[in-house]
Structure 1
Amino acid sequence: MSSRPTSDAQQLDLLGGASSTPAEVHRLFFALMPDEVTRNSLSRTADALKAGHAALRVRWIAPARYHATVHFLGDHPMLRQDVIQGAKAAGDALVASSFDWSLDLASTFRGREPPLILRGSIVPDALQQLWQNLRERLIRAGQGAQMERTFTPHVTLGYSRGGMLEPTPVEPVRWRVERLALIHSVVGQKDYEVLQRWDLGG
Structure 2
Amino acid sequence: MPARITQSNASQIELFRQPPIVLAQTHRLFFALMPDEAVRRAIGRAAVVLQEQYPVLRARWVKSERYHATVNFLGDYPELPGDVVEKARAAANMLCAVSFTWSLDYATSFRGREPPCVLRGTFVPDAMFVLWRDLNAALAHVGLYRHIEHSFTPHVTVAYGRRELPHAAPVAPVAWPIDSVALIHSVVGKGYYEQLGRWPLLSPAR
Separation of aligned partners in 2, 1:68 and 1:36: 15
The two structures, once aligned, show a CA RMSD in angstroms of 1.9
Shift of 1:165: 4.0
Amino acid aligned to 1:123: V
| Cα pair 2:140 2:148 within 8 Å, conserved | no
| Cα pair 1:106 1:165 within 8 Å, conserved | no
CA deviation profile, 1:139-168 (whole Å, cap 9, x unmatched):
111113134310000000010123434211
SS at match of 2:24: coil
Query: Are 1:76 and 2:77 counterparts?
Result: yes
Instruction: Kindly name which structure, 1 or 2, has the bigger radius of gyration based on alpha carbons.
Output: 2
Separation of aligned partners in 1, 2:167 and 2:49: 16
| Cα pair 2:110 2:164 within 8 Å, conserved | no
How many residues get paired?
195
CA deviation profile, 1:13-58 (whole Å, cap 9, x unmatched):
89xxxx8331011000000000111000000000010111122211
* TM-score, normalising length: structure 2: 0.89
Aligned equivalent of 2:60: 59
Unpaired runs of 5+ residues, structure 1, are: none
Shift of 1:2: 6.8
CA deviation profile, 1:102-152 (whole Å, cap 9, x unmatched):
011100101111111001011110001000110110011111313431000
4+ runs of 1 displaced by more than 4 Å? Answer: none
**Cα–Cα, structure 1 residues 139 and 2, in superposed 2: closer, same or farther, change >3 Å?**
farther
**Cα–Cα, structure 1 residues 53 and 89, in superposed 2: closer, same or farther, change >3 Å?**
same
Structure 1 residues 32-111: aligned runs within 5 Å: 32-111=33-112
Separation of aligned partners in 1, 2:182 and 2:51: 29
**Cα–Cα, structure 1 residues 20 and 164, in superposed 2: closer, same or farther, change >3 Å?**
farther
Unpaired runs of 5+ residues, structure 2, are: none
